[in-house]
Structure 1
């Protein structure tokens, strides 16, 4: 399992239930409000700084997500996607990265087609039971509460990069 994880060149993430806790809040004007975890953000930044790209495939569109991606420097954003497997085809074509070198993190049934096609699949600890039965690793943390940080760290550790990163902060 470690060798499959060490081969990852691209991490794809679902949003609602993975990058967020899954709650969808609307303002009086109908705008969606999402909360993102700062530890997840640092984990994604560390992963990207190590040369592993990050992309988003989500069924919903929101300005909050666009702002979050812009803030983190994530340019592979596929929002409002009903068929995530087709989005994966586009990503593979656009990046030239083979499916076996892509990891995906999801939490619900709509994520299963992508999870089955990529080289490594994660799901958050509060993912649907059926999704948990079809992923390589279930995080200890819940979606929106540090699960993505845990995923990023596991990839960096499998690649032998975590000690280097940690030492930068300890020196």
Structure 2
């Protein structure tokens, strides 16, 4: 029988936040112009949430099923050093990340929105899904955001993480001075 943990118990020891891209960091749309150049829409509030989490000492990484230069660019802009793309099996890079970082499942949060994310969601200490995740993902999430993917879902998870770890005031204090 699986141990029932509170949200605070699940979040208090998180040291790594892993994110899917399409449908989590973006709204899931992929735009190609007439020259085949790909574009994605990222939410600046999600980006700021990522930066605040990083300032709190939590590393951030990406595991994406698709491969895109746009993701490389966004990861570089946000100083995200762990980036795995073109992963049809997301569990393999997830386990490689654990091995490389020395972290265990209980120290990892993962945000996913589609069935490809379920294997990682079932193992991560904290799993979240955007409000518009596919229905099959919801039973595997410890938390479902009010916001849709690409529209503040990542920020919601970042804020929750900082608040539950008791560092929200310390991280945001600079904005109130």
Q: TM-score, normalised to structure 2's length? A: 0.94
Equivalent of 2:159 in 138, 153, 156: 153
- In the alignment, the residues of structure 1 paired with residue 133 and residue 45 of structure 2 have an alpha-carbon distance, to the nearest angstrom, of 20
Runs of 4+ in 1 over 6 A off after TM superposition: none
State yes or no: 1:36 paired with 2:7: no
Q: Is 1:50 paired with 2:56?
A: yes
Alignment partner of 1:83 out of 79, 89, 102: 89
Distance 1:118 1:165 in 2: 25
What do the CA deviations read for 1:16-60 (whole angstroms, capped 9, x no partner)?
000000011112222221110000000000000110000000011
How much has 1:167 moved relative to structure 2? 2.1
1:1-150 equivalences under 5 Å are: 1-150=7-156
CA distance in 2, matches of 1:94, 1:133: 29
Taking only aligned residues, the RMSD between alpha carbons, in angstroms, comes to: 0.8
Unaligned stretches of 5+ residues in structure 1:
none
1:88 CA displacement: 0.7
Question: d(CA) in 2 for partners of 1:27 and 1:99?
Answer: 40
1:100-150 Cα offsets, whole Å, 9 max, x none, are: 110100000000000001101000000011111210000010000011011
Structure with the largest fraction of helix: 1
- Asked if 1 retains the 8 angstrom alpha-carbon contact of 2:111 and 2:128, the reply is yes
TM-score (norm: length of structure 1): 0.98
Return the alpha-carbon distance in structure 2 between the equivalents of residues 80 and 133 of structure 1: 25
Per mean C-alpha deviation after superposition, the further-off stretch among 25-34 and 147-156 is 25-34
Report how many aligned residue pairs link the two structures. Answer: 171
> Which secondary structure state, in structure 2, belongs to the residue aligned with residue 2 of structure 1?
helix
